[in-house]
Amino acid sequence: MDYPQIITQIATQVNPLFGQGKVADYIPELGKVPPEQFGFCLHLNDGQVFAHGHSGVKFSIQSISKVFTLSLAFQLMGEDLWKRVGVEPSGTAFNSLMQLEYEKGIPRNPLINAGALVVTDILVSAFQDPKAEILRYLRLLTGNDCIQFNASVAQSERNSGYRNYALGYFLKSFGNLHNDVEQVLDVYFHQCAVEMTCVELAAAMQLFSHHGVEPHSGQRLLTMSQTKRLNAVMQTCGFYDEAGEFTFAVGLPGKSGVGGGIAALLPGQYSLAVWSPELNKKGNSVLGMKALELFTTLTGRSVF
């Protein structure tokens, strides 16, 4: 299959979509990102990498980080993890307080903000320096020791993250946050402020395409069953309340972030990452969503 030609064709077809979305300026630091950028990276399981456009530009991975912290917490807790967070699609906004109250402090799934805060709380309990451990893990997955937090983005999120503070204290009131709320939020804001390129993000997602084996080192980090379950959560819950549309149009497990990134994979075959900062009203990249729909259409390769 001529992947470079397919990716070039995709870039041409999504180019007219610039201007149809808006950068995530509710986090002031993200609002400074130049909007007209598009990067795409395909990482095949045999090691071949095909990169295009702004695929070497670092961006804030935001909620995509939730997939990696979730996989780390799953390694630590096993099935006990699901006693504190569910696995159902939310159908409401990713930062909904109403849903958390209705479900008495057990978040609907680990990829909405409330669920991700519970996952972060697990890491705070497990590690003396959870921020350093998150970086260590991401550096292992990418094969790059330079992965780092963007301190300005983390501070911007701290200064504007009132809804996340509310979720944190709400979880604490239900007994589903075991550590100091401010400490958990500090770690959470930093994990969302991790910067990666499309090339690095596609490499990190190889863990889930290789059924839980980290291909750089050959280490098995997740069992095949755990990997299957995490891929299932990404398939059903990875795109806020647009997860059904993504499954319908694209047909891959994946996760988006309000930094404009989308990471996805086809188990046993490939992982990929796309980035374009302009978001639709559901918080997903306008060009990224269309690019992945075109990719699975043109290649005929998706879970379905």
- Give me the catalytic one of 66, 172, 255, 290: 66
- Give me the catalytic one of 23, 85, 119, 258: 258
> Is 63 known to be catalytic?
yes
Listing DSSP states for 38-81 in one string gives -EEEEEETTS-EEEEESTTS-EE-GGGHHHHHHHHHHHHHGGGG
What tokens were used for 163? 């809804």
- Give me the catalytic one of 63, 96, 209, 256: 63
- Give me the catalytic one of 137, 172, 181, 188: 188
> Is 66 known to be catalytic?
yes
- Work out the widest C-alpha separation in the chain, in whole angstroms: 54
Beta strands (DSSP E) in 87-161 are 148-149
Q: Sign (positive/negative) of CA torsion 85, 255, 100, 173? A: positive
Residue with tokens 């409401």: 92
- Give me the catalytic one of 23, 240, 256, 302: 240
Residue 8 CB-density burial (10 A; 0-12 exposed, 13-18 middle, 19+ buried): middle
Residue 105 CB-density burial (10 A; 0-12 exposed, 13-18 middle, 19+ buried): middle
> Is 258 known to be catalytic?
yes
> Is 188 known to be catalytic?
yes
Residues annotated as part of the active site: 63, 66, 188, 240, 258
